A and B are shown apart, each in its own frame.
Chain A
Amino acid sequence: MTGYGMTDGISRLDARAGDLARRLQRDLSPDTDLWPRIAARLKSEAPPRPWRMPRAIEAGRDLWPDIRARIDAGDRFDGTNREPHPWGAGLAAAAGLVAVTALILMLAMRLGDFRLPGEVTASADSSAGAATVALPAWMADTFAQFDEAAAGTSAAALGDTARSVQRDFLMVRGQRLQIEQTLAAYGGDMNLRAQWRHVYLAELRLIDETEKLANLYGTRTEI
């Protein structure tokens, strides 16, 4: 497998997860307690550190995109001071070391704690077969209120939508738990880790859609 492929994909998934998380934060009403829970999950369920580290140098990346244009425009050294400064090599090495250290620290600070959630690890260790999946209490309440509000009204089509979201949420969460169980055995598999992000992103999106549906029906206050 070429290294650039999977790492590129992971970067894109990370970016999309970040965008979705920010949109969730923006969309949720100020009095909701959902966002802190999501934020906590994003932090606690962040994937293990090795997932994020590239396995190969990306081919063909231009680290200084402007240099060709500058050279072509004549913005170049005149050749009169080509002798290297006696400290040049040392300074360059030190600067490189500082840059690499800063990058590692930045990644570490951004990624935080990479352990799998305790409940999931326990489930995986138990080898008890398929994971049990249930709706979070707040989602179950939302869907129950939604069904009650929609029953017998001309808005019943949206009740079908809510049920499809609920069904998909359970399916997606089930998929995520299965992946996490598999990860317990194959923790180094980059494809699995990318799939974990992919499914978790879908789970976040379904949380987002549930919130939108709840707000559409005014279940927070009107019902």
Chain B
Amino acid sequence: MNIRKRFVLLACLPVVAHATPVDQRIDAASDGQVEVHNISGDIVVSGWDEASVHVTGEISEAAERLDVRRDGDRVIIEVVYPNDWRGDGNFGGDTDLRISLPRGSSLLVETVSADVTVNDVEGEQDLTSVSGDVITETFAAEARLQSVSGDVLVNGQNAAARTSASAVSGDVEMNRISGEISVESVSGDVEIIGGTIERAELASVSGDVSLRGELAANARVRADSTSGDVELLLSGNTAADYDLTTFSGGIDNCFGPRPTRTGRGDSGASLSFTEGGSGARVEVSTMSGDIGLCN
């Protein structure tokens, strides 16, 4: 059952006060996939060295059971609700799960209002919430992280990897991230404190965008915000072709030539120059937001 159908059922659940403890363990491949489907509450996932998945916590009384099953290299953890349940629009309480799994596993988590916290999982991660926060630790594998109103927080190890995150009103923060980064937000702020950046695409509409890190030799960096400010603080290598433009904001740069006033209204500026000769490109565009470039 997909998450949408499950949620439709849960939206009709009556208020329930009690929760049921759960404690299940199942054998798992050391580099298999683990899927977690839960609606509300907390999901805390930790990697460990055992070849098994261990789930503890408590499920809401509205839930029928916790289903933990294995299908080949996949382990599926799902909170199951009665098909005929109808109520007044409640979740029936939260379901909190603590999950230990082989650290080499790839992980998929789908939830609606649950917060998701992941530690020590070195495989690929695909984490989705609607109103909950997504907090994770990443390694050298790809991570795809989404929330709508929740925040997304990623702590990496400066290993080159592909990391993408999206939010609407939530903020996105990434620390010690290297490799390829893609972040979208609408009104949330985007803050990247990276290692060596190979490719970064950062976008927000009204939120501020901030990137700190070092450019790889052929890095591609693009940052867009309409009314938010964009700040690039580059350490180490700053060699690149720079192309900064704002329609009605200002540009404040610590290196390179002075920006050119574009003469549109009271402000607006553009700045294009080449620093060194690395083949890297940095492009920043805003409508009314200011642009900062420093090292």
Contact = CB atoms under 8 A, between A and B. Distances in A.
B168 A206 contact: yes
Contacts of B186: 168, 171-172, 202, 205-206
Interface residues of A, number: 46
A206 B188 CA distance: 13
Contacts of A152: 89
Given A5-B281, A165-B148, A157 B203 contact: no
Contact of B168 (A186, A198, A209, A218): A209
Interface centre among B91, B169, B281, B286 (most CB of A within 10 A): B169
A161 B132 CA distance: 10
Interface residues of B, number: 46
Contacts of A206: 168, 186
A55 interface: no
Interface in A193-208: 194-195, 198-199, 202, 205-206
B253 interface: no
B247 A192 contact: yes
A216 B7 contact: yes
Contact of B11 (A4, A161, A216): A216
Contact of A9 (B131, B205, B246, B283): B283
A4 B40 CA distance: 46
A172 B203 CA distance: 13
B203 A153 contact: no
A9 B226 contact: no
B30 interface: no
A2 B178 CA distance: 27
A198 B270 contact: no
B61 to A, nearest CB: 12
A177 to B, nearest CB: 12
A160 B169 CA distance: 11
B112 A216 contact: yes
Interface string A181-199: 0100010010110110011
A215 B112 CA distance: 12
B22 interface: no
Nearest to B281: A5
A2 B11 contact: no
Interface in B249-295: 264, 270, 272, 281, 283, 285-287
Given A154-B90, A161-B149, A175-B287, A191 B11 contact: no
A222 B8 contact: yes
Interface string A146-168: 00011011110110110011011
B125 interface: no
A41 interface: no
B285 A158 contact: no
A4 B283 CA distance: 10
A12 interface: yes
Q: Is chain B's binding surface mostly helix, strand, loop or mixed?
A: loop
Interface string B208-250: 0000000000000010101100000000000001010111000
Given A160-B149, A206-B186, A2 B241 contact: yes
A46 B123 CA distance: 40
B26 interface: no
Contacts of A195: 224, 226, 247, 285-287
B148 A209 contact: yes
A4 B242 CA distance: 11
A17 interface: no
B231 to A, nearest CB: 18
A149 B130 contact: no
Contacts of A215: 4, 8
Given A153-B90, A165-B148, A195-B226, A5 B283 contact: yes
B117 interface: no
A116 interface: no
A2 B287 contact: no
Contact of A217 (B11, B226, B227): B11
A175 to B, nearest CB: 5
Among all A-B residue pairs, the 6 with the closest Cβ atoms: A5-B243, A164-B169, A161-B149, A218-B8, A153-B89, A161-B131
Interface of A: 1-2, 4-6, 8-9, 12, 149-150, 152-155, 157-158, 160-161, 164-165, 167-168, 171-172, 175, 179, 182, 186, 189, 191-192, 194-195, 198-199, 202, 205-206, 209, 212-213, 215-218, 222
17 contacts: A9-B224, A149-B11, A155-B10, A155-B91, A157-B113, A160-B149, A161-B131, A161-B149, A175-B205, A186-B264, A191-B285, A191-B287, A194-B224, A205-B186, A215-B4, A216-B7, A222-B8
